[in-house]
């Protein structure tokens, strides 16, 4: 499994047109996302897999499919 940072995840959510809300979270911007938290975040964002996240991060896909 690749390691992703919170900044990586923010980029993906921005490409999927999620709205940014200011929330106080106790982590640094570039800190790696723990494995269990990462999978919960994927599920909440409606992202099917790590491969889908990578595809969006690399700019191959910008909108979620129904």
Residue 51's pLDDT band, with cuts at 50, 70 and 90, is very high
Range of the domain at 62: 1-18+26-66
pLDDT of 1 reads: 67
Q: Which has the higher per-residue pLDDT, 63 or 18?
A: 18
Residue 15, class by beta-carbon neighbours within 10 Å (0-12 exposed, 13-18 middle, 19+ buried)?
Answer: middle
Note the pLDDT of residue 43: 94
DSSP letters, 2-66, are ---BHHHHHHHHHHTTPPP-----SS-TTPBPPHHHHHHHHHHHT---HHHHHHHHTTS--S---
Which pTM was predicted? Answer: 0.74
Domain count, the chain: 1
Residue-wise pLDDT for 2-41, tens only, equals: 889 888 998 999 999 998 887 766 666 668 888 888 999 9
């Amino acid at each position: 499994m690749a390691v992703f940072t919170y900044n990586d995840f923010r980029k993906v959510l921005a490409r999927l047109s999620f709205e940014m809300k200011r929330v106080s979270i106790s982590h640094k911007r570039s800190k790696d996302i723990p494995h269990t938290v990462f999978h919960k975040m994927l599920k909440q964002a409606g992202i099917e897999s790590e491969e889908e996240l990578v595809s969006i991060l690399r700019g191959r896909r910008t909108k979620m499919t129904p």
